[in-house]
Amino acid sequence: TELAYERTIRSQKRSADKNDQKTHARDAADFTEEKKLRIPQAREKSGQKESKRPVPKHEKNSYHERMAKNRLLIKKAKKVQDLKGLLPKGKFRKIRKRQERLDRKKNPSKKRPRGTKGRKNSKRSRR
């Protein structure tokens, strides 16, 4: 029973230490927030107030812009292999597959490459 008692005391101390650490972290965060709040007031006095400028639309690298850029890259590339480093992995794969399909249409003797032996038994191929 003495051992159990010591264990409980130790665990209580540990939890107290953890709580102390949390409060220290919280206090530090509050302090930094106060600092942030204080700085602009000092700026206003010295007359160096920074105006918030809205970010122009073209600076926001939106999803559609990225896709448009990818489309341009695809048009410019002579060979599919040229795109390898420029596009995200999935996109490159899609383009390569499309290219293979077109090649098969042009030349029926070019059969679709089958999966290698290691790939045939993999989990992914069984899905």
CA distance 106 to 8: 78
CA distance 105 to 110: 9
CA distance 32 to 84: 45
CA distance 84 to 23: 50
Same domain, 1 and 43: yes
Q: So what's the pLDDT on residue 93?
A: 77
Range of the domain at 11: 1-47
User: Is the per-residue pLDDT at 39 higher than 60?
Assistant: no
User: Is the per-residue pLDDT at 86 higher than 60?
Assistant: yes
Q: Is residue 21 part of a domain?
A: yes
Total number of domains in the chain: 2
Assigned token pair, 19: 């709580």
User: Is the per-residue pLDDT at 37 higher than 60?
Assistant: no
- Section 103-126 average pLDDT: 66
Q: What is the pTM of this model?
A: 0.28
* Residue 49 near residue 43, CB atoms below 8 Å: yes
